[in-house]
Amino acid sequence: MTLTAKWRQWLPHLGIALVVAYCLAPFYWMLVSSLRSTNDVFSTSLLPSPVSFANYRSVFGPAQGFTRALLNSLTVAGVTTALSLVLATFTAYAMARLEFRFKRLILTLIIATSMFPVVSIVVPLLKLFTDIGWINTYQAMIVPSMSFTLPLAVWNLTTFFRQMPDELEQAAMVDGCTRGQAFRKVIVPLAAPGIFTTAIITFIAAWNEFLIALSMTNKPGMQTATVAISKFSGATTYQTPFGSQMAAGVVVTIPLVVMVLLFQRRIVAGLTAGAAK
Amino acid sequence: MADTAIPPGTTAHRPGTAAARRPGRPPASASPRRRPRATAGAGRLAALLVSPTLLVLTIVVLYPTLMALDESLYGVKGLDPKTGFISDTEPFVGLKNYTDILTQAGDRFWNAFWNTTCFTVVTVSLETVIGVAMALIMHRAFRGRGLVRASILVPWAIPTAISGLLWKWIFNADGIANVLLGHQVLWTADGFSAKVAVVIADVWKTAPFIGLLVLAGLQVIPREVYEAARLDGASALQQFRRITLPLVKPALLVAVLFRCLDALRMFDLPYILIGAQKGSVETLSMLAQNEASNVRFGPASAYAVLLFLYVFLIALAFVRLLGADIVGDAGGTKKSRSRPAGMLGRRAREVTA
């Protein structure tokens, strides 16, 4: 009896430890590997000894052009997020607040587009962009990225707007606001947390994109960080520079992990908003 | 797709739609939560607010899809020696690209098709099992919830391309995986072990995400249901099978549908972890991208169209056969409506009552 009681008490903790270890162990390995010196990169000790920042120095060295790649990523993901948010805010407001014909059909179609195989739109757009000379431009990466960030943002914001009490804007309209003013002065400020959450989720999706960035660029200077890292070259041919790849991977991932740590509650709420209903 | 609640009088009443089969359900627009406001003004405003999004999606999704359909009817010709790009003189070949895929280039296509299917079935099944287990664990433990939540978001937040590199490092010949196993497996060489490597890496990245969605589903189940079941003498297993599973089924179905469609378009992970043009892991997306990057746009488009059709059929099957409802309570309606009706829905309501 006491034994089973003890088990019952400890089993969930053991389970939680397992879940956390499962999720973090590979990430930990990336972190540790990035901190090893070039000589003991194949070492399998759990801690790097001595701790070396050589990999980080080589990543940001002039040979890799990684700083430029980070800037490219930031530009593409940032502009994609901003554009998606503006359009999605209007659409989500209509979806959550207004009654109109075909509403459900339109929302279904918008959400369905986010599940398109990206390659199906990349192939024809690649040909189009080649013809009009858009290859190696930011817009060639931003425009196709909208195909999955915009539906994501619409869906997130719709669930968020729907949770806000209807009376808010009615009160504003009674006080003499037009619907547009009520939206601008009451809804948007109050929806700021939801818009912020959506921005994070959209940004992460755009930041993690690989296929579009790979297809639309062939100049190293225009590659985003994810593509640039995958193309890092080692000191000798046929040698994959795992040390610097891990270091660059950490650099690309750390901002996202920090965001996740800071806003985990909101991100979870945003991600699961559709599922829990 | 989720045609279970398209408002009547619009496009819904095809015979045999879910709405027609389930006469007990109220029509979608009959029970609006808020005051009905389907006025001309609201309609105009809605059109104004919705049209930019629809316009953008038309440009970035609908137009390319139609272009792909058109392009897939053209062959490869007129390589411009100066630029290496195709000039405008591609010959119209009709359905030749498709017939080639199914005959001449058939081996490569069917190999990619089966790889894609196999990855989808295996990874999504494993992810579902592991994800549900994770959700049950997380649901029980109340301590350290923030830490757990943050850590299960980490695999999701790591870009797939980076996790491909990470697992390539782990599965390296001298990597940690072989050290832990105690003998050498050439994971990232072409072969069966490469498939296993891709499956392991993909499951690691997305099982926690399924766990998260299922956890959200678990948390809306009222606790009294379990108390009642326990009073009636239901065992833990019975509670899981009779209460938990049916009640999280809507959340789980949506999660599995999204994961399936995501797995069907898998590209980054096998491309980086194993490499391009590796037969054992080449997916349809990789095949199409490879053809396009070799400026063979016609065949590439044909592959893309076939993948698109495949994805569409799977999504349709999910919505029709299993009643997955991707829109949730989109009609501005009550919660019970968004659950699939029929046996499960009824049982759920009985349990809650």
- Between B30 and A8, residue with greater pLDDT: A8
Best interface-test mutation with A: which of B53, B59, B316 has the largest number of A CBs within 10 A? B53
Give CA A209 to chain center in angstroms.
8
Q: Where are the alpha helices (DSSP H) in A132-166?
A: 138-163
**B53: which chain A residues are within 8 Å (Cβ-Cβ)?**
87-88, 90-91, 110, 150, 154
8 Å CB contact between B331 and B28: yes
Q: Phi and psi for B86 in degrees, rounded to 5?
A: -75, 130
ipTM score for this prediction: 0.90
User: Would you state the structure tokens that stand for residue B287, as one six-digit string?
Assistant: 């095949």
Q: Is the pLDDT of residue A170 over 60?
A: yes
pLDDT at residue number A235: 54
Q: Sorting pLDDT into bands at 50, 70 and 90, what band is B26? A: very low
8 Å CB contact between B123 and B263: yes
The residue length of chain B stands at: 353
Instruction: For residue B283, give its domain range.
Output: 72-326
CB neighbours of residue A233 within 10 Å: 12
- Indicate the SS3 state at residue B92: strand
Distances (CA, A) of B260 to B161, B198, B208: 19, 15, 15
**B160: which chain A residues are within 8 Å (Cβ-Cβ)?**
208, 210
- State the architecture of A65-231 in CATH terms: Orthogonal Bundle (1.10)
Q: Is the pLDDT of residue A193 over 70?
A: yes
Q: Is the pLDDT of residue B1 over 60?
A: no
CA distance B238 to A182: 51
CA distance A208 to B158: 8
Instruction: Give the gap in angstroms from C-alpha A104 to the nearest C-alpha of chain B.
Output: 6
Across B285-305, average pLDDT? 90
Q: Does a structural domain hold residue B59?
A: no
Q: Hey, which residues does B79 pair with through a beta bridge?
A: B86
Q: Sorting pLDDT into bands at 50, 70 and 90, what band is B77? A: low
Q: Sorting pLDDT into bands at 50, 70 and 90, what band is A237? A: low
Among A97-101, A235-239, A271-275, B102-106, which range has the highest average pLDDT? A97-101
The CATH number of whichever domain residue B158 belongs to comes to 1.10.3720.10
**B163: which chain A residues are within 8 Å (Cβ-Cβ)?**
26
8 Å CB contact between A257 and B151: no
Distances (CA, A) of B85 to A122, B64, B78: 16, 19, 9
8 Å CB contact between A216 and A127: no
For the stretch A112-153, pLDDT in tens is 887 788 998 998 999 899 889 999 999 999 999 999 999 999
- Burial label for A190, CB within 10 Å (0-12, 13-18, 19+), is middle
CA distance A212 to B25: 43
Q: Do A95 and B174 touch (CB under 8 A)?
A: no
Q: Is the pLDDT of residue A92 over 70?
A: yes
Q: Do B141 and A15 touch (CB under 8 A)?
A: yes
- Total-model pTM: 0.84
- Indicate the SS3 state at residue B36: coil
| Average pLDDT score, chain A | 86
pLDDT at residue number B29: 44
Across B246-266, average pLDDT? 88
Asked which of A57-71, B94-108, B339-353 is least confident by mean pLDDT, the reply is B339-353
pLDDT at residue number B51: 92
Share above pLDDT 90 across residues of chain A, in percent, rounded to a whole number: 39
8 Å CB contact between B74 and B297: yes
User: Would you state the structure tokens that stand for residue B194, as one six-digit string?
Assistant: 């490469």
Across B50-66, average pLDDT? 92
CA distance A91 to A98: 10
Smallest CA–CA distance from A179 into chain B, residue? B45
Q: Does a structural domain hold residue B23?
A: no
Instruction: Give the gap in angstroms from C-alpha B270 to the nearest C-alpha of chain A.
Output: 12
For the stretch B109-167, pLDDT in tens is 999 999 999 999 999 999 999 999 999 888 876 667 778 888 889 999 999 999 999 99
**A107: which chain B residues are within 8 Å (Cβ-Cβ)?**
327, 330
CA distance A123 to B173: 35
Smallest CA–CA distance from B88 into chain A, residue? A131
pLDDT at residue number B31: 43
Q: Sorting pLDDT into bands at 50, 70 and 90, what band is A25? A: very high
Across A19-34, average pLDDT? 92
Instruction: Give the gap in angstroms from C-alpha A90 to the nearest C-alpha of chain B.
Output: 5
8 Å CB contact between B314 and B243: no
For the stretch A146-166, pLDDT in tens is 999 999 999 889 988 888 887
Asked which of A251-260, B20-29, B68-77, B258-267 is least confident by mean pLDDT, the reply is B20-29
Q: What total number of domains does chain B contain?
A: 1
